[in-house]
Chains A and B, each alone.
Chain A
């Protein structure tokens, strides 16, 4: 029953520069992982997205979070309790 999700993760990986994808539920449990995305990171990612929402006066709007390191960029966004993270290589 998760074939559609698996397909969606594979499609995301096909975008230029994408080297990893992670998908977590609202409890931080890993729903899917590809490439450099490690399953254990899902808890951190969900927690990060939850905390970031509190920075806005309207705490229900979910922001786009970007973490940049020397070689990588991670884009994170939550929608309806599901948090998705995409790893893009900047090299």
Chain B
């Protein structure tokens, strides 16, 4: 979709080994079984393609073009939508479930063996020699405390002043007749 990590949708549907991304729900209303859209040229026989100047006949064919384009977009979106309510609740069969479980666990063990996860024991820094002297040292100076408090206050204040500048409308109506 809009995700930069999304795998391409352009894979051929035929030869594809079922992996973790392959669809489990096969026949949903919007799948490729839906009726094919009739192209414009078949619908309006004799209409020529409009090229440059809009003439009275070309207006009609232009609107036809837009109409078919809109229909195409609509059908494409509909085929991408999976209507969960309309599907019969079909759970996986036992052997399919066991198969998949075996597949996933073997993949997992393969990955685990490749990159061993290092188990880190609780670690502390090397520290100082004389803790008593360090802890008895004079506390943080008033100047330091005031300084960081001021900086924190001013930073929080400037962040409050961040405003969105409204430049254009988010929703723009298109001229759809």
A58 contacts partner chain B, Cβ-Cβ < 8 Å: no
Q: Which residue of B lies closest to A1 (CB)?
A: B162
B140 contacts partner chain A, Cβ-Cβ < 8 Å: yes
Residues of B close to A83: CB separation below 8 A: 152
SS class of chain A's interface: helix, strand, loop or mixed? strand
Chain B, interface residues (CB within 8 Å), range: 20 to 34
Given contacts A4-B161, A5-B162, contact A82 B148 (CB under 8 A): no
Contact of B144 among A31, A66, A79, A81 (CB under 8 A): A66
**Would you list which residues of chain A between 68 and 85 have a CB under 8 Å from chain B?**
75-84
B41 contacts partner chain A, Cβ-Cβ < 8 Å: no
**Total interface residues in chain A, CB < 8 Å:** 25
A44 contacts partner chain B, Cβ-Cβ < 8 Å: no
A23 contacts partner chain B, Cβ-Cβ < 8 Å: yes
Contact call A12/B156, Cβ cutoff below 8 A:
no
Contact call A86/B148, Cβ cutoff below 8 A:
yes
Q: Which residue of B lies closest to A70 (CB)?
A: B128
> What mask results when residues 4 to 24 of chain A are scored 1 for a CB within 8 Å of chain B, else 0?
110111001001000001010
Residues of A close to B155: CB separation below 8 A: 5, 8-9, 12, 23, 79, 82, 84
Residues of B close to A5: CB separation below 8 A: 155, 158-159, 162
Given contacts A1-B164, A1-B165, A78-B152, contact A15 B147 (CB under 8 A): yes
